[in-house]
Structure 1
Amino acid sequence: METPDFSISEMQSLSTEGSPLRREVLVPEGARGEGFDAAYDWTTVWYDAVQRDREILLVCPKLLNFKALIADGALKVDGQPARIARRESFRRHDIVRLRTGAPATRLSTSAGRWQGESGVSPDQSALFAGLNASLHISRDNRPEWIADWARFHIAEHGLEAMLVMDNASETYPPEAILDALAGTGLKRAVVLRVPQPYGPVRQKKGGGGAKFLQPAMLNLARLRFLHRARAVLNVDLDELVWTRAGSVFDATVASRFGFVTFEGRWRMPSLDAEPPFHHADHRFLRYKDAPCPTKYCLRPDGWRARIGWDVHRPETWLPTGALKRTDFGYWHCRGVTTNWKSYDRLGFDKIGPEDPFTAETLDRLLPGS
């Protein structure tokens, strides 16, 4: 189901696929785990090119040796040499800002005999303007999980809009996500097709710095879709945000710095339950539990428009850990997973007692799920 309020968007990407050009790798061979070569993004130059006012924003994996493809003399906007305004370098992605005198339609670059080009995506922030929004990267998550996540946060926090970045799901098309969300009460839902590789799962020893997609997509969401939202919640689809202080969006808007951070704890289904598990099954404590890394909600306006978003915190000089709230948190639902990582999340055998607060909240917000 696609309507003006529930829609599918595309990226205008550029890849060197089919040419001898390959991104270099900074991870030493000894630190590369099994399947590294198959999972690494060797060819994406930019994920998306977004027109905002008189700028084009290129959101890229870490460019490394591909910097030469986005340089004076190589890059062109509608056939004219590009004017690079600024390069922003982050740990796992890069953003390049180009000046344009008028809205552009094509970007092109070349190296030797190879030439490549892409279109330019529009600024779609009007879709989320003034709304309480969330963003997610998803691959083959069951549509009913996505719908239950939405229902929980609509009822508990006043969620109004979701941006789901579908990373090449194989079990259903993007339209299935829109269908699942249609009856939840959301005002707006956008599914963005993201076909590029997620990247190698980090090894326990070494192997970092090669997983580009997630931080780049968070910042593409910020720059193209969510910079006019009222507040934006960044948690995964297996994480339910609980509260003892009302809406996390309202708390974010009222907070001094315009964001709140909070930590998570694992929640487990009963040992008697059978997969597929659902969020509502996760009412038991984890045996020998430890906190999960922080997640956050923030206002994207004002001075915060200039800071990047990362997985566990906004990229700001502020000590976000010291500002962590204890009246918000999230339950990390152990069995809501396709088990795609290298460790077995469905292999649990020790579960603690039922947590009354979790059970009451789930019964209230997800009855019958």
Structure 2
Amino acid sequence: MPKLTDPAPAPDAPLLDASGAAVSLLGSGIKRQIRVPEAARPPEFDAQYDADTLWYDAVRQGEDVLLFCPKLWDLARLLKRGEITADGAPVQLRTIRYHRRHDVARLAVPRSAHGLRIEAEGWSASCPISPDQRDLFAGLNASLHISRDNAPEWIVDWARWHKARHGLQAMVVIDNGSTAYTPAELLAALAPVGLTRAAVLSLPQPYGPVRAKQGGGGAKFLQPAALNIVRARFLGRARAVLNADIDELVWSTTGSVFDAAVASRLGMVSFAGRWTCPPGQAQPPLRHADHVCYMDHRPCPTKYCIVPEGPLRWLSWDVHRPERFPLGRFTRREDIGYFHCRGVTTNWKSYNRLKARDVTPDPHLEQMLAETLG
């Protein structure tokens, strides 16, 4: 179970290093079932599947605590039939909300409680309760990202671009077990950017396997759960939140993407991306500013910027859109998009994004990148 670093700084401290209050089933003999057909499992599926995490984080919300879990499936019985206590006193399980790739349990827990304990089927585990720190980010233009060993200079360049072009004020990076640097080192790298707030939330649990090309089913539980942990713990009172990856630079011809989300009727804008890449002679390591060519390729999936307390506050966040969101055509913008920088990658999906491409140099793209990133 990860060690919890006390993330409660002085009210004006801009940098936070925090861990999730996780509970693991490792060693209990209890495992999460697999619902992906064997035909859809790549060779590395078993090694990458998260069979052991019961919940990633336990987050304070008023008189309740929210448990953010991978898909519970058969493990829901542990929460329904097991004994859960807070500082030794029994607590009530209010609800379990079942989402597409994660689940959220709500417990009635007194505000004075500091820790949880669960006992079920001869097994027990404990964890602290993560504090509600939404007030630290209230009213700010914020972004959130999941990252593992992405170069700090990539993350810094991403922050510089969006601060200069969109008025980014706060940033939360979900660190999924990086080994190249510590959360404190990443925060130190971000400090010169001049953000009002920055946080690194450590969630080292398995990201989940990429499904095989043939057959249905997937088991990437961590990212959608992590997005909603950050929403509940840090960004639920932000002015607007941009959900985009570190290799995606958002552009707009009509001003800030955050302003566009706030001004929109539904409190959200969505937009597609376009692949960009460096000239053919460029060699890694690469930066965003090297991506001065367009690729002839189909549009990249949409990303979005949303007002957490806006009209869509009842929807769970997911990677490319809020979950079960039927009104995408009403939020789609053509005057906003993103440059998907093909060489800004650790190749974690095991393919070379720079090979075999048709590229078109674009002087305007090169000028924009040079003006902002130098």
Tell me if TM exceeds 0.5.
yes
Give the distance between the partners of 2:311 and 2:112, measured in 1 at CA.
26
TM-score (normalised: structure 2): 0.94
How big is the shift at 1:102?
A: 3.3
Q: Which aligned pairs between 1:279-358 and structure 2 lie closer than 5 A?
A: 279-286=288-295, 288-315=296-323, 317-346=325-354, 348-358=355-365
Aligned pair partner of 2:256 in 247, 256, 261: 247
Deviations 1:251-301 (A, max 9, x none): 111111100000000001111111011100111011x31100000001001
Q: Which moved more, 1:181-190 or 1:300-309?
A: 300-309
Separation in 1, partners of 2:48, 2:22: 18
CA distance in 1, matches of 2:121, 2:190: 47
Contact 2:37-2:217 within 8 A present in 1 as well: no
2:19 corresponds to which residue?
10
Contact 1:69–1:75 under 8 Å retained in 2? no
Partner of residue 42, structure 2: 33
- Aligned twin of 2:220: 211
**C-alpha displacement of 1:22:** 0.9
Partner of 2:3: none
SS at match of 2:155: helix
Q: Does 1:262 align with 2:264?
A: no
75-84 vs 40-49, which deviates more? 75-84
CA distance in 2 between partners of 1:251 and 1:159 (Å)? 13
1:111-131 Cα shifts (integer Å, max 9, x gaps): 322111211110011221110
Give the 4+ runs in structure 1 shifted more than 4 A: none
SS state at 2:131 partner: coil
Task: Report the AA paired with residue 296 of structure 1.
Answer: Y
* Residues 318-351 of structure 1 deviation map (CA, whole Å, 9 limit, x = unaligned): 41134310000001000000000033223x2333
Whole-angstrom CA distance in 2 between matches of 1:102 and 1:160: 30
For 2:335, the aligned partner's letter is D
Q: CA deviation at 1:243?
A: 0.8
Partners of 2:26 and 2:81 in 1: CA distance: 23
Deviations 1:169-192 (A, max 9, x none): 011111221121111121111001
Matched residue, 1:363:
370
1:66 offset after TM fit, Å?
1.1
The answer on whether the counterparts of 1:271 and 1:349 sit within 8 Å (CA) in structure 2 is no
2:247 maps to 1:238:
yes
Given candidates 264, 280, 286, the residue that maps to 1:277 is 286
Q: CA deviation at 1:32?
A: 0.9
* Contact 1:284 1:351 (8 Å CA) reproduced: no
Q: Within 2, Cα distance between the matches of 1:92 and 1:206?
A: 17
Distance 1:260 1:302 in 2: 12
TM-score under structure 1 length normalisation: 0.95
Contact persistence 1:33–1:207 (CA under 8 A): no
Measured in 2, the distance between the counterparts of 1:213 and 1:321 equals: 27
5+ residue gaps in structure 2? 1-6
Aligned length: 364
Percent sequence identity over aligned pairs: 53
